[in-house]
A and B are shown apart, each in its own frame.
Chain A
Amino acid sequence: MTDAPFPHRHLLGIQGLAPSEITSLLDLAEGYVEQNRSSDKRKNLLRGRTVINLFYENSTRTRTSFELAGKRLGADVINMQSAGSSVQKGETLIDTAMTLNAMHLDVLVVRHPDSGAVKLLSEKVNCAVINGGDGSHEHPTQALLDALTIRRRKGKLSGLNVAICGDVRHSRVARSNIYLLNAMGAHVRLIGPRTLLPSGLDRMGVEVFHDMRKGLADVDVIMMLRIQNERMSGNFIPSIREYFHFFGLDREKLGIAKPDAVIMHPGPMNRGVEIDSDVADDVERSLIRSQVEMGVAVRMACLDMLTRDLIRSEGAA
């Protein structure tokens, strides 16, 4: 476990984190992986603390992961969904912040469909804020759990060739992963049709490919991104059938990557759209289930690190 200081009040994104801070979070998470595998999963580190999961978008997976992380550290965890709440009645983010401040919570985990919304909220609340995904901007805990998964399998991040494939345009997972992998010395490639790769990506320290067969050569890690079916018609790509043909990961395309290349996916998967079941379920190559496990450990590490900072600032005050 690490005692390195974490000089940030919130975790809003990977951009702005130093490599040493990323390493500290990953090291801390390693310890929680072991704890989660033991019979005594609970720790009272956050006893008396209140964590609220405020989700403006549906997400069973991420919300449950944060909920479990909070509970395993002994915190009181409350889930708030926007559907049916005062948000639907026109309450603004700023109003919500005022309400939350009055509840004296310690950590707020926020998911929001608009890029930048979590940052806006973080400026108005007194507690630590974790970005649980904002629009197409960042999803830092996903990038951290991906990094932990890769590091455990490959023993390192530096020097690896990582391909991120698919709908980068709408993906916060892709952005956070680009920042993290770049910071840690991996080589990032983006692969997808031009309509799903927005302009300026080539200036983000990545290589851009529009052909899976070229992009996957010599790759150590393949990260597939989720395509949303509602985006599949007309505008960005002509059809699911065509998309899968050119950009879906199947056994044949996997064969282009290194023989020990691993497959990742942030979930939930669209089988037969961006990934073939045959490779998704290949226990030798697919790390998809491991990603979910790492998710809880990484979120525990984030809660731990940010509340340490709270304890410090409370001590100072």
Chain B
Amino acid sequence: MAARNSSGLVAYVNARLLDPATGLDTRGALLTNGETIADVGPGLFQGGVPSGMEVVDCQGLCLAPGLVDMRVQLREPGEEHKETLKSAGEAAVAGGVTSMVCLPNTNPVIDEVATVEFVARRARKIGLAKVYPYAAATKRVEGKELAEMGMLAEAGALGFTDGIRAIRNAQVMRRALTYAATFGLLIVQHPEEPSLAEGGMMNEGELATRMGLSGIPVAAEAIMLERDMRLVEITGGRYHAAHIATREGVEIIRKAKAKGLSVTCDTAPPYFALNELAVKDYRTFAKLSPPLRSEPDRLAVVEGLRDGTIDAVASDHSPQDQDSKRVPFAVAEFGGVGLETLLAVTLDLAHNGHMSLIEALKLVTCAPASILNLAAGRLKVGAAADLVLFDPDRGWKVNAKTFHSKSKNSPFDDRPVQGMVMRTIVDGRTVYTHDA
């Protein structure tokens, strides 16, 4: 595929260039110079590639910005038996993800400058996908005292969240939004009213009743979102709702946006590709937080993605080891791994005719990057050469056993998908190639 040279210039020729930020979808070539993109376009190298460059023949496949995954749990520090920065990095690049943003719910919690710096330093050393941390919105994610948001942002925190816990106290949320607005910082909420969700294991409804499992009502998401919209209104803060999974949730965000509030949201592939039936037979890999909802909810999430109410798609990668999942459903941990299936399942949206390929790609590239003010997710001259080369049509069957992630708890295990990552490039370096 490649002819090597030591100039530091690499020409990616014969590619279908896709840049969701500009709408570019054309045959052409891209040139990287060391760590950055030096040139890109349909006319590039039409007269042939000058000598002295390494040439990568893309064989007509899609060359796009590397994926930006805005919600990942890394488990390091503290639970390295489930995932490490290295194993997550390997999983990320195998999935075409070149930037990922990790939650602060590690042990210790990322609520101090030193922990933010630890994560950044470790990730740089590993040199796979880039890792940016969110920091805790409240100290120890206890929901009581605000974390040192200003200093944490200076150290590199991209936003503030209590991770998999909702900021439950309305006064604390109000102050978090108000204080963060001082610095123009983003507050990311896990929108689930905790007392309604307490003890719940799956979507509340007929199936939960039949299975004898306690349910989490749709209202748990709706109530928290409604409350938060009021708080955004009175504080003028920047608010992002993670993993929207219900029809009502989509509707609340739609109304807030129509009102002009500074609100964004994302969802994760399970919520537009699966519904609650996936938990039948007590399948713990489908025990997710928020829970998989009903089919009308799933369709509403698809519609929210289609009309732009839902801004982005994140993997919501939540690795859990066997001991946490090979137990009765009631006591199994929540969460599923998602880095390695993020692209393929997101492309379902295009394959199923809900949107174009470039629109689907936008959800995992420039859209999350814009929410986070992150210089990533676009094919721009001078930008970091973070790229993914993929075959949008190549089908494969998810086999979690072959995942690079340390944990194998994929809700998509055994599912046929379409869209395969062939090569991932971070800062101009090829960090993953699909062999075979």
Q: Which of A106-125 contact B (CB under 8 A)?
A: 112, 114-117, 119-120
Judged by a CB distance under 8 angstroms, whether A89 is at the interface is no
Does A175 contact B212, Cβ atoms closer than 8 Å?
yes
Q: Are A119 and B282 in contact (CB-based, < 8 A)?
A: yes
B329/A114 in contact, CB under 8 A = yes
Of the candidates B209, B215, B330, which one forms a contact with A135 in the assembled complex, judged by CB atoms under 8 Å apart? B330
| A94 part of interface (Cβ distance < 8 Å) | yes
- Whether A112 contacts B206 in the complex (CB less than 8 A), given A137-B211, A199-B215, comes out as no
Would you give the shortest CB distance from B190 to chain A, in whole angstroms? 23
Binary B-proximity of A130-161 (CB < 8 A = 1, otherwise 0): 00001111100000000000000000000000
- Whether the Cβ atoms of B210 and A114 lie closer than 8 Å is no
A198 to B328 Cα, complex, angstroms: 21
A252 to B119 CA separation, bound complex (whole angstroms): 70
User: By the criterion CB–CB under 8 Å, are A116 and B206 in contact?
Assistant: no
B209 and A199 within 8 A (CB): yes
Contact A116 B209 (CB under 8 A): no
Once bound together, how far apart are the Cα atoms of A198 and B326, in whole Å? 27
Given known contacts A115-B282, A116-B282, is B328 in contact with A200 (CB within 8 Å)? Answer: no
Q: Please give, as numbers and ranges, the residues of chain B lying within 8 Å of A112 by CB-CB distance.
A: 328
Expressed in whole angstroms, the minimum distance between the Cβ of B331 and any Cβ of chain A is 6
A115 touches B329 (CB 8 A): yes
User: Nearest Cβ in chain B — how far from A115, in angstroms?
Assistant: 4
A80 sits at the interface (CB 8 A): no
Please state if A204 and B206 are interface contacts (CB–CB under 8 Å): yes
Given contacts A199-B204, A199-B205, A116 and B211 within 8 Å (CB-CB): yes
**Chain B contacts for A172, CB-based, 8 A:** 212
Q: Would you call A120 and B328 a contact (CB within 8 A)? A: yes
Distance in angstroms between the alpha carbons of A93 and B331 in the assembled complex: 12
Which of A136, A199, A203 interacts with B212 by CB under 8 Å? A136
Residues in A with CB closer than 8 Å to B208 are 198, 200
Residues of A within 8 A of B329 (CB): 114-116
Contact flag A204-B210 (CB < 8 Å), given A92-B326, A115-B282, A119-B282 = yes
Residues of A within 8 Å of B326, CB to CB, are 92, 94, 120
Taken together as a complex, chains A and B put the C-alpha atoms of A204 and B206 apart, in Å, by 8
Contact with A along B305-329 (1 / 0, CB 8 A): 0000000000000000001001111
Number of A residues with CB within 8 Å of any CB on chain B: 24
CB proximity of A181 to chain B, nearest CB, Å: 15
Q: How far is the CA of A137 from the CA of B326 in the complex (A)?
A: 19
Say yes or no: is B281 at the interface (Cβ < 8 Å to chain A). yes
Decide if B164 is an interface residue (CB 8 Å cutoff).
no
At the interface, yes or no: B372 with Cβ under 8 Å from chain A? no
Measured CA separation A198–B281 after assembly (Å): 20
Q: Is A201 an interface residue (CB 8 A)?
A: yes
Interface string of A1-33 (1 = CB under 8 A from B): 000000000000001000000000000000000
- Kindly state the separation between the CA atoms of A200 and B211 in the bound complex, as whole angstroms: 11
**Residues 64 to 121 of chain A near chain B (Cβ within 8 Å):** 92-94, 112, 114-117, 119-120
Contact B281 A119 (CB under 8 A): yes
Find residues 157-179 in chain A having any chain B CB closer than 8 Å to their own CB: 172, 175
CB of B220 within 8 A of chain A? no
> Within the complex, what minimum Cβ distance (angstroms) separates A313 from chain B?
22
- How far apart sit A114 and B287, CA to CA, in the bound complex (Å)? 15
Main SS of chain B's interface residues? helix
Q: Nearest chain A CB to B194's CB is how many angstroms away?
A: 16
Q: Which residues of A contact B214 (CB under 8 A)?
A: 136
B206 in contact with A200 (CB, 8 Å): yes
Least Cβ–Cβ distance between B184 and chain A, in angstroms: 42
In the complex, the answer to whether A198 meets B211 with C-beta atoms within 8 Å is no
Given contacts A120-B282, A199-B205, A200-B205, are A135 and B212 in contact (CB under 8 A)?
Answer: yes
**Per a CB cutoff under 8 Å, which of B210, B217, B281, B331 touches A175?**
B210
> How close is B416's CB to chain A, nearest CB, in angstroms?
24
Residue of B nearest to A135 (CB): B212
Mark contacts of A197-220 with chain B using CB atoms, 8 A cut-off: 1 yes-contact digit, 0 otherwise: 011110110000000000000000
Select which of B209, B330, B331 is within 8 A of A198 by beta carbon: B209
B53 contacts across to A, CB distance below 8 A: none
Separation of A136 and B205 alpha carbons in the complex (Å): 14
Q: State A204–B330 Cα separation when bound (angstroms).
A: 22
Q: Are A200 and B282 in touch, CB under 8 angstroms?
A: no
Any A CB within 8 A of the CB of B207: yes
Q: A92-B327, A135-B330, A199-B204 in contact; A115/B213 too (CB < 8 A)? A: yes
CB of B330 within 8 A of CB of A115, answer: yes
Contact (A200, B210) CB under 8 Å given A93-B327, A115-B329: yes
Is B330 touching A116 in the complex (CB atoms < 8 A)?
yes
Given contacts A93-B328, A116-B329, contact A204 B209 (CB under 8 A): yes
CB neighbours (8 Å) of B207 from chain A are 200
Q: State whether A200 touches B209 (Cβ < 8 A).
A: yes
Say how far B147's CB is from chain A's closest CB, in angstroms.
34
Interface centre among B204, B207, B281, B328 (most CB of A within 10 A): B328
Q: Are B209 and A114 in contact (CB-based, < 8 A)?
A: no
Judge whether B215 and A114 touch: CB under 8 Å: no
A203 to B211, CA, bound (A): 14
Please, how many angstroms separate the alpha-carbon atoms of A29 and B211 in the complex?
27
Given A15-B210, A200-B210, A204-B210, CB of A114 within 8 Å of CB of B205: no
The CA of A15 and the CA of B329, in the complex, are separated in Å by 18
Nearest CB of B to A183, in Å: 14
Q: In the complex, which residues of chain A have a beta carbon less than 8 angstroms from the beta carbon of B328?
A: 93, 112, 114-117, 120, 135
17 CB-based A-B contacts, threshold 8 Å: A94-B326, A112-B328, A114-B329, A115-B212, A116-B328, A134-B212, A135-B212, A135-B330, A137-B211, A138-B212, A175-B212, A198-B209, A199-B215, A200-B207, A200-B208, A200-B210, A204-B210
Q: Which 4 A-B pairs have the closest CB atoms?
A: A200-B206, A137-B212, A116-B282, A136-B212
Given A114-B328, A114-B330, A199-B209: 4 more A-B contacts, CB < 8 Å: A93-B328, A120-B282, A200-B205, A204-B209
